[in-house]
Structure 1
Amino acid sequence: MRIPHSINPSTLVEYSPSPESLDLVGEDQRKIISENFDWNKDHCPTLIHFCLKAIAKNFEKKPIFDELPCEDKDQLLEIIPTDLPLEQAIPFIHDEYYWKRRYEAHFKTITRRKPKSWTWKNLYLERHLQKLVEEAQPQYSDEENMGDILDLCSPYVSRLIVTQLQLWQPPLNMDKEDYPEIFPVDHINFLYILRKLCTVTEFDLVFGMNDVSEKFDWNMFKVTVLDCQRLGKALLELKNLEILRIHRSRLGNEHCQALMQNLIKNKSLLELDLSNCEIGDQGALCVAKFLAGHPSLKILNLANNRIGKIGAEGLGFTLLLPSCAQIHTLVLKLNPLGKDGAMGIMRGIVRCSIPLELSMAGCDLEGDTPVKIGQMIRINDTLEKLDLSNNWFGADGGTYVVEALNENYTLQWLDMRETDITSNQQQTIKSYLFRNRRLKAQEDKSTSRSCMNEESFVTDIIYRKSEQKPYILSAFDE
């Protein structure tokens, strides 16, 4: 007996009899055993079964699906090949079970977080495009020949994640005498790809290669200015782009400048992640210029980018500009900011209401920086999360932070791990943070109550008007 895939496997487990019930009196005399689903395993399959097998076998030549009854469609989805050409599978098959089978057959488990509104069809086509882009050979200009498959997949792809890009290799039909003395380092041109994917809202890119083994070469991880110029122009084709990550790449300040020349025209970005690159101070100034005129950016991640005093001062100055994006999160961890760089950031923070979350973990904060941080915590009244872990504070620095937190009622999270403060200071900091969270919860609760009262007041006005009363009764009157 065939169990349709639409039935949850847990249901079969629940309906299976327990060992104790099978030992009851009279069980061995039952003629009809309803829980036995293998009762017809020795029977000859039906003609419908053979017809469906023939349809599945010849589906590529003659696709028949919509004409079948629902129960036959369910059975066909269980046996149809998972290697059908996408030109047939995408328009004909929309059932999630088939795309789940296809995903598990080609990519096994899901290795990335799933977006909010996801389907198996979307997941499969996103991974398929990722594989195509990652295997595209720049010497053959493979990206220029992807137009047809990109048009097919575009409506179902909202996220493109690229974890590697192939390096230029001599074409197979090129003689060794014609090999260039220095191989080109440029990668594929994303303009041909992104102009077709108009629905993409998240783009994640890493310049490099995976699993190179003994073929390792530093050229595999190089990035050219031409790559960034092309990428910047290509990103302008994504009108709905909200999340951009270009990370774990050898992206220097000249690359950042080339990228920002075009990216500065973007108006839809919500998150920019350039973490674990090498943009340095000059690259940080380019990002500050981008930040100064962007209308919607909320998250900026510049972790581990060799940003020092000049870059931090540029970012801090930008936060004060009226045209600066109202960012929510600023991540500067693992940058050698030092005292001067931290001061450049904090000068801006104490004079404006952004950001709400700041990370300066592992930023080489030495000298009297803890004193300045304490002053910043005492003055600032908007910061909610602050990460200062892996910086040297000591007992004296911890004292300044504790005294400042006593006067701060907005900071709710403070990471002071690996700062060498005392355990008593850690407990005191936790108590102040719990106090601030309780105050925040009470404030949110009172705000929600006031909103409900306003709604009831408006409702009462509408109700009284409907009765044509000459007065308005407040919701607070008896």
Structure 2
Amino acid sequence: MLPSSSVGSTTSVCSLSDQVKKYKARVIHDEHDENNKHGKPRRAIDSLVVLSVKAITNQFSTKANPMQGIPLKFLPEVTSRLPLNLPITATAPHIHDENYWKRCCLNRSDWSNFQIEHHGLTWKQLFLELTLQEELEKYDPTNSNTSYNDLLNIIRACAPHIFTLEIDQLLSHIDLSEIFQCLPNLTKLKLSYGVKQIGMKYERMLFGMKISDATALSHAIKNTITLSSLLLPSNLLDDDLLRMIMTGLIKNSTVTTLDLSHNKITNHGARLLAKLLVPTSVISSLNLSDNQIHAEGGRYLARGLKCNTSLIELNLRLNRLTDEGGKLLLEGLVGHRSLSILNLSNNALGRDTAEALCGLLFDPECPLTILDLSGNNFTESDVSALYEGLERNTKVVTFDLRQNQIPKEANVLIQIAQIIRRNEIEGRHA
């Protein structure tokens, strides 16, 4: 008597496989269809796997955890079938397939100029950051279909993937301190209180930062432990608003890049900012271009620079330093061992500034490598003094002297260009 065994135990696996391959998916024929007289198949019956995938995608936004229990090998199939208009609160926490987020990004015709390298080289981060920026920009509590709680839910859903926010308008003047609390990974914030596409409906009150905005921002800056870049251009920031923001900046130890360009900061504001340039400062880049800083402001900044050790880049383009202010500022840089990029273009600088800079360049340990002095009042004799300082300098690789009172055919410009070229080539081989 043969021992009991499972069915097919004596049949080889290969033979079974060959037999299975003979069977095809069952098809449905519609005998009553007049246009289908020859019994041609209308459609194939979906497999159980396909039916399961369709059921999951159809009910995706209704489940608390829609991806739970799905084998890993079927996840790409599920995400490839998902529609692109699902609520962000449903997709952000659960979908990690980059192909899905790439489809979402490419589906947005108004995002034709996005650059993934600015968003961590991931499609999900790019989509969520740009989407959140749009939600914040268009949110208006007086005229919006989105409630404040809905906005907070969107922010919380996106939060783990938000590292950069660049907001060009904030009509709601929402409390930024509360937004910061919801974004534990935010490292860069660019914020301008402007209005997009305003057309003929211009109102002065729609532009610029308010006192409440400055107060909320100062609290956010004070408490953040991740923010490293703070950019506040074109906010009509004056000295009073700056003073409020400074209460947070003074107690902050993470912001290394500070951009306050295109505002209304005067000498008093420069005096406040000089307090940031203490020996314990971590600020490496300070942009104060297009403000209203005069010679006295240059004096205040020079005092801060004398004891500063962290600043690498300083931009004072389009201010009103004049020759006196430029001289005072450069005197503050004597002995400074970190500042390598300096922009003093369009400040009405002249001979005194040239002589002060010449003395600075004589120092073999002067770290300056990029200098922009364009759009000033330097003459050919002033530039000759600069040439004397550059003769033995081996570090300056960029020196912009355009739009000064110097003839284009001046021999000294050719000599300076040769020195800059020499430094650049030697720097590459160093």
Contact persistence 1:143–1:192 (CA under 8 A): no
Q: Kindly tell me: are residues 57 and 190 of structure 1, through their superposed partners in 2, closer, same or farther at Cα, counting changes over 3 Å?
A: same
Q: Aligned pair count?
A: 381
Deviation at 1:117, TM superposition (A): 3.0
**Counterpart residue identity of residue 162, structure 2:** V
Alpha-carbon distance between aligned partners in 2 of 1:45 and 1:334, rounded to the nearest angstrom:
71
SS in 2 for 1:330: strand
Partner of 2:346: 362
Partner of 1:228: 214
Deviation at 1:164, TM superposition (A): 0.3
SS in 1 for 2:60: coil
Deviation at 1:293, TM superposition (A): 5.5
Partner of 1:331: 315
2:384 maps to which of 399, 405, 411: 399
Instruction: List gaps (5 residues or longer) in structure 2.
Output: 1-40
Contact persistence 2:137–2:168 (CA under 8 A): yes
Could you give the per-residue CA deviations for residues 35-65 of structure 1, whole angstroms, max 9, x where no partner exists?
A: xxxxxxx984561456644543333335755
**Counterpart residue identity of residue 130, structure 1:** Q
Q: TM-score, normalised by structure 2?
A: 0.81
1:152 maps to which of 145, 148, 157: 157
Alpha-carbon distance between aligned partners in 1 of 2:42 and 2:375, rounded to the nearest angstrom:
71
> Is 1:214 the equivalent of 2:200?
yes
Could you give the per-residue CA deviations for residues 310-331 of structure 1, whole angstroms, max 9, x where no partner exists?
A: 111111111112xx24111111
Alpha-carbon distance between aligned partners in 2 of 1:44 and 1:145, rounded to the nearest angstrom:
43
Alpha-carbon distance between aligned partners in 2 of 1:244 and 1:92, rounded to the nearest angstrom:
31
Contact persistence 2:105–2:111 (CA under 8 A): yes
Alpha-carbon distance between aligned partners in 1 of 2:289 and 2:116, rounded to the nearest angstrom:
21
Structure 1: 4+ residue segments shifted above 6 A: none
Partner of 1:60: 61
Contact persistence 1:199–1:238 (CA under 8 A): no
Higher alpha-carbon deviation: 365-374 or 285-294: 365-374
Partner of 2:336: 352
Instruction: List gaps (5 residues or longer) in structure 1.
Output: 1-41, 168-186, 445-478
> Is 1:111 the equivalent of 2:110?
no
Deviation at 1:368, TM superposition (A): 4.5
Higher alpha-carbon deviation: 138-147 or 262-271: 138-147
Could you give the per-residue CA deviations for residues 165-207 of structure 1, whole angstroms, max 9, x where no partner exists?
A: 116xxxxxxxxxxxxxxxxxxx221111111111111111001
Q: Kindly tell me: are residues 122 and 151 of structure 1, through their superposed partners in 2, closer, same or farther at Cα, counting changes over 3 Å?
A: same
Alpha-carbon distance between aligned partners in 2 of 1:403 and 1:421, rounded to the nearest angstrom:
19
Higher alpha-carbon deviation: 118-127 or 241-250: 118-127
Q: What is the aligned-residue identity percentage? A: 26
Contact persistence 2:119–2:164 (CA under 8 A): no
Deviation at 1:75, TM superposition (A): 3.6
2:261 maps to which of 252, 275, 298: 275
Q: TM-score, normalised by structure 1?
A: 0.73
Contact persistence 2:116–2:126 (CA under 8 A): no
Deviation at 1:234, TM superposition (A): 1.6
Q: Kindly tell me: are residues 341 and 159 of structure 1, through their superposed partners in 2, closer, same or farther at Cα, counting changes over 3 Å?
A: same
Q: Kindly tell me: are residues 93 and 283 of structure 1, through their superposed partners in 2, closer, same or farther at Cα, counting changes over 3 Å?
A: same
Could you give the per-residue CA deviations for residues 249-276 of structure 1, whole angstroms, max 9, x where no partner exists?
A: 1001111111001221000111111111
Contact persistence 2:294–2:322 (CA under 8 A): yes
Alpha-carbon distance between aligned partners in 2 of 1:54 and 1:286, rounded to the nearest angstrom:
62
**Counterpart residue identity of residue 178, structure 2:** Y
Deviation at 1:383, TM superposition (A): 1.3
Counterparts of residues 61-80 of structure 1 (less than 5 Å): 61=62, 65=67, 67-68=69-70, 72-80=74-82
Could you give the per-residue CA deviations for residues 228-252 of structure 1, whole angstroms, max 9, x where no partner exists?
A: 1111102223211111101111001
Deviation at 1:421, TM superposition (A): 4.4
